[in-house]
């Protein structure tokens, strides 16, 4: 079948009929967009969860908990998502279930020894929501929450050229002082500005119960995992934000290769996140 397609393509190119391929591609695109929009409209009637790329009818009681809704609102207040307007879940492109995963495992960390760490904080959408959800100042019991980021986007000191060019203009639209002030009312927060992995040893971390990796780049993510894995306590969780997301296959491949060498397996969550319980 592929051979026939290739031959047909060659004939069309030979006789200057490339426009036929372009028309075909445009028709496919229009049909695809139409079907996707139809699916979203239908999902609103037949499924009670339909956000980002996840449509399902599983129990989502967490979305009705006041603490969850409030934490979600806090996340949106530091970094609004396209489509979010006055608390309307269905218009928002930032999936509630994604946040719920990180909130759940950060809460679990409170039952364990060890600090919380995030590599890739940006404006602090996840971390602010976590601090609010677990009522950090009263529950932390001397734990610290370490937040690592360049606060300037990806770095060519570690990320490869493909990743750098994909995110050339990303993560540069804020000032660090605003981010710092968002965290100022919380105790035990350490914001470490620098390039992961080179910045990691600036913090004196010996035990970790929750690690969130979200740098959108394969090499620093593998390096961060390599650094923190030996520090993870039993029952702790490593959550990878983009592991199973479309467009992040390079991260998945690199993380899987690392895990294979080190006898670990990453579980793909239907939210697109990845998970290791240590």
Ligand X SMILES: C[S@@+](CC[C@H](N)C(=O)[O-])C[C@H]1O[C@@H](n2cnc3c(N)ncnc32)[C@H](O)[C@@H]1O
Strands 145-149 and 115-119: what pairing? parallel
The 10 Å CB-count burial string (b at 16+, else e) for 89-118 is eeebebbbbbbbbbbebbebbbebebbbbb
Instruction: List 191's β-bridge partners, or say none.
Output: 147
71 near ligand X, judged by CB under 6 A: no
CB of 258 to ligand X, least distance (A): 16
CB of 8 to ligand X, least distance (A): 41
Choose the binding region for ligand X from 201-209, 211-219, 231-239, 255-263 (rule: CB under 6 A).
211-219
CB atoms under 10 Å from CB of 164, counted, come to 15
215 near ligand X, judged by CB under 6 A: yes
131 near ligand X, judged by CB under 6 A: no
Instruction: List 239's β-bridge partners, or say none.
Output: 212, 275
Hey, which bits of 177-273 come out as E strands? Answer: 189-193, 208-213, 232-240, 267-268
Q: How far apart are alpha carbons 24 and 20 in whole angstroms? A: 6
154 near ligand X, judged by CB under 6 A: yes
- Write the interaction track for ligand X spanning residues 29-48; mark x where CB under 6 A is met and - where it is not: --------------------
The correct pick among 150, 251, 271, 278 for binding ligand X (CB under 6 A) is 150
What are residue 268's phi and psi, to 5 degrees? Answer: -85, 120
CB of 10 to ligand X, least distance (A): 41
By C-beta, is 74 or 126 nearer to ligand X? 126
- 72-91 residues in contact with ligand X (CB under 6 A) are 79
120 near ligand X, judged by CB under 6 A: yes
153 near ligand X, judged by CB under 6 A: yes
Tell me the residue length of the chain: 278
Q: Report which of 250, 278, 245 is spatially closest to residue 264, judged by C-alpha positions.
A: 278
214 near ligand X, judged by CB under 6 A: yes
CB of 34 to ligand X, least distance (A): 30
Given the rule CB under 6 A, which residues bind ligand X?
79, 120-123, 125-126, 148-150, 153-155, 158-159, 171, 195-196, 214-217, 220
């Amino acid at each position: 079948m592929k051979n026939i397609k290739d031959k047909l393509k060659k004939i069309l190119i030979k006789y200057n009929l490339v426009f036929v391929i372009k028309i075909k591609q445009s028709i496919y695109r229009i049909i695809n967009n139409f079907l996707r929009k139809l699916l979203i409209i239908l999902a609103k009637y037949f499924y009670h969860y339909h956000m980002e790329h996840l449509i399902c009818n599983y129990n989502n009681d967490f979305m009705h908990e006041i603490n969850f809704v409030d934490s979600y609102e806090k996340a949106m207040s530091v970094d609004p998502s396209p489509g979010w307007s006055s608390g309307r879940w269905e218009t928002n492109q930032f999936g509630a279930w994604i946040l719920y995963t990180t909130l759940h495992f950060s809460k679990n960390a409170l039952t364990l020894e060890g600090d919380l760490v995030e590599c890739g904080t940006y404006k602090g959408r996840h971390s602010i929501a976590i601090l609010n959800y677990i009522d950090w100042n009263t529950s932390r019991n001397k734990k610290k929450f370490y937040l690592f980021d360049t606060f300037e986007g990806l770095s060519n000191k570690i990320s490869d050229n493909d990743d750098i060019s994909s995110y050339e203009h990303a993560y540069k639209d804020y000032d660090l002082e605003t981010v710092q002030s968002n965290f100022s009312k919380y105790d035990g927060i350490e914001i470490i500005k620098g390039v992961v992995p080179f910045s990691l040893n600036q913090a004196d971390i010996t035990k970790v119960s929750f690690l969130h990796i979200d740098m959108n780049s394969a090499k620093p993510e593998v390096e961060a995992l390599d650094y923190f894995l030996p520090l993870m306590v039993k029952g702790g969780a490593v959550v990878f934000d983009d592991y199973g997301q479309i467009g992040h296959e390079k991260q998945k491949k690199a993380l899987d290769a690392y895990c294979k060498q080190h006898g670990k397996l990453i579980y793909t969550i239907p939210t697109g996140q990845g998970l290791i319980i240590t």
